[in-house]
Structure 1
C-alpha cells in the first residue's frame, strides 16, 4: 500500500511537468489541481498510527495548498494573485503548526543565517514593487521564513524541503513583481518542480518524525532511552 500510494503523485507530477514543457496549457492547469490531492493519498493510505502525530495539520496544509492552486482558476483575473497567496499563506501556517507538533532538534545556525539573508534579499527586491500588496508580501515572506526554519530542525529532509519551498515561492514573487529578473524559459517548470518536491519532503518529515528515536535525517537526542525488550 505504501508503494502504491506514491503512484498517483508520480503520475500526476510527470503529466503536469510534461504539459508545462510541451505547452499543453489545459492539461497543465488541471493536472496542477490534482497534485495536492495525490500527495494527500500518501498520508491517507497509511493506517492512522503510521501517519505521525502531526498528520491532520499536514493534511490541512495540503488542502490549503490545493485552494491556492485551484481558486485562481475560477476567480476574476484581478483577484487571482490574492487567491493564490491566501491559500498558500494558510498552508504556511498549518505547516508551522505541523512542524511544532513532532519532536525536533535545532536548526543549524548557518542555515538560519542563510534563510534570513535570502528572505531579506527577496523582500528588498519585491516589496518596493508590490504597491498596495506590500504588507501582504512582508507577512507572507515571514511565514515562508518560519516554515523553512522549522522544517530544517527536522534534519536534512526538512531542510531540503524548506530550500525547495523558498526557491519556488521566491520565483513566484519575482515573477509577479520583478519579472525582468526571472525572464527565462521554463521558469514555470522550475516553480512547479520545486513546489511539488517541497510538499513531498514536508509530508515525509511528518511521516518519519513520529517520536524522538525515529526522526529521519538526524541522530536521536542524547539521553533518549532505547525501548525495552518485551
Structure 2
C-alpha cells in the first residue's frame, strides 16, 4: 500500500479499522463467490453490501479527524451512495433497464467524485499545468478508443454511454491531482468500467476472468479513492510541525536568582523577533 495512506490508516481509531476490515471481508466474499458454481446469490448480496461497508468506514475515519472540509466529505459520501445505487438497481430489474440503472447511479457517482477533486485539479493547474494536461490526454485517448470501438453496437444507449465515459475520464484525470492513492483509484475505476463497456458492446471481446477482474479493480478503486481523500484531509488536520514551539511558562519558584552584581546597562539589548 502507498506509504502515506498506510501511515494514516495506522493512526485511525479501532472502530474505523474494524469497519475497514469489514469492507475488505465483504469484498473478499464477493470475489470468492465469483469463483464457485452457484455463488450468484452470494455475489449479488455481497455487492449490495460493498458501498454501505465502505461508507461506514469512510464516515468513521472522518469522525476520527478534527473538523474537516465538509464539501469534500459530503461529495465523497454522495458518490459512495450513488455507487451503491448503481450496484443495487441491476439486481431488481433486467435488460436495458438494468444497464441504464447502473449507468445512472455511477454517472451521479462520477459527477460527485469529479466535483470533490475539482479544487485539487484547479490548484494543480495553476501550479503545474503539464501533468494535468498529460493525465487528461491519457484518459481522453482511452475514452476515445472505447467510443470508437463500442459506440457502433450501443444503439440507443450510445448517448448515456458517451456522457458517462466523458465524466469517468474527467474524474480519473482529476484524481491524479489529489495524491497517489486517488490517482491509482481513478485509473482502476476507468479500467473496470472499460471492461464493462467492452463486454457489453464489443462482439469480439472475450475474457474468461472478466467478472472477477471487473469487481476486483472496482473494489480496490473505491477503497483507494476514499483512503486517498482521508489521507489528504488528515494531512490538512495535522498541526504544522515546522511551527516553532511555544515558550514554556516558567515557575518563579524554580527560576534561578538574579545575579545582584549584574549591571543592566552592560547587558545586550533584547532583539525584537
SS in 2 for 1:93: helix
Alignment check: 8 A CA contact 1:161 1:197 kept: yes
Once the two structures are superposed, the pairs formed by residues 19-168 of structure 1 within 5 Å of their partners are 19-23=33-37, 24-46=39-61, 47=63, 49-50=65-66, 52-53=68-69, 54-100=72-118, 105-106=124-125, 107-168=131-192
Alignment check: 8 A CA contact 1:102 1:210 kept: no
Q: Over alpha carbons, which structure has the higher Rg?
A: 2
Shift of 1:137: 1.2
In the TM superposition, what whole-angstrom CA distance separates every residue of 1:14-51 from its partner, at most 9, and x where no partner exists? 00000011131111111000111110111122316458
Q: Which has the higher contact order (CA 8 A, sep 6+)?
A: 1
Larger CA deviation: 96-105 vs 108-117 = 96-105
Q: Normalising by structure 1, what TM-score? A: 0.87
Shift of 1:159: 1.5
Separation in 1, partners of 2:53, 2:74 = 16
Who is 2:267 aligned against?
Answer: none
User: How many aligned positions are there?
Assistant: 220
Structure 1 residues 157, 135: CA separation in 2 closer, same or farther (over 3 Å shift)? same
Shift of 1:5: 2.2
Larger CA deviation: 154-163 vs 25-34 = 154-163
Q: Normalising by structure 2, what TM-score? A: 0.74
Separation in 1, partners of 2:31, 2:68 = 30
Alignment check: 8 A CA contact 1:51 1:207 kept: no
Shift of 1:7: 1.2
Structure 1 residues 167, 51: CA separation in 2 closer, same or farther (over 3 Å shift)? farther
